[in-house]
Chains A and B, each alone.
Chain A
């Protein structure tokens, strides 16, 4: 049977892409505390060697527009391409899919009353690609297959934290009922606190981010009590991306052990965060 070997949540700020391409930047004072945080992740991945990464992320207007905006979408392709998001940045090589696992997850989620949108073609943006490049900076082709799960954070109403938590639980059940003997990593991308728009732009809330780390580790359901309006107030308009962290955490049912965390302010306008968890033995 498939086994969830761990969960990683990480920021996905587009600017990180610049320092991924221009590697010498990573040793500069601005970037070093951020990139140093991923060493423990590299060591862990090297030891655990997952076969598939289920990537829970939010699209920023690459694959989805307001004409059709799914609340939850699951990729079912054999390959996912990254593409120009408007800034003409250097593109990442394609990501292999795992259509068998994707369809199993889709069938399991719908049976579990999650009426998701199924995508046999899906472009994946920086929120998918940058965490992949942070986790696996050197190995190409990418050493894992992927299953993208996209959560709408563009247009309110967004799914609630409680709903995203339940989605994560359902993803966990789907993975654990998959008959193939594979190791699966669940990744949540985005956050932590930040706000790009309005006269409150530049808002960062260190205390709330720290609270999120603590709750994700020890009492994740506590975070499901926040409404999205409250999350906007506490974490900023784009800080609602903590929804992806909540879903990823929920996929690891039960208690977890913290392997590593990192927190650094600022990367671009964002408080960057990283959390690596394993199911408790």
Chain B
């Protein structure tokens, strides 16, 4: 039984199949990349995994347990954390309070939650922002705070939705090293990313989708060489040349 497995998941919005019979499985400890052009259904897949949207068809399994049909907070409790593409900071709370609120999930007392939060804030390099209100943070730190908040729920599988988008080159390096650090600490990651430099260097396997349909799956090299992937991103001309 795979660590995480999606079997033929389908999501209809009205008559449109935003995700159409997508299947993939992730091994424990992997960094699994999810790529595709804009509107191809990457974030929808995340929303299906963590239960924001009900599946139209298909099943999702996590560590041998069927999680499709559960509520979002139950899925989180089982060990799947996520961040949002459009960040959702709890604006009028400080950074540390954001993380504490999340850390309460597995903490018995407030002191325990606070200790865990402090530890995670240090892990994510947010110490200078600790007592600032979340709304005052720049975008790079907001994204880090989202990761910190997700980590505070002690996830075994973390879904990162475009954590590197909108960052400058030095922030990008920091984001990559944070992702690597999380992976080394034993968390399995599924990441959605547009920046090829990020996804190609850190992923173990990649799933490419377009219009909600899988067009390629494999190692980064295999996917990068795939004709359908090149067509989806760059058009027929480039695909024909290569």
Q: Do A and B bind?
A: no
Q: A-contacting residues of B (Cβ < 8 Å)?
A: none
Residues of A within 8 A of B (CB): none
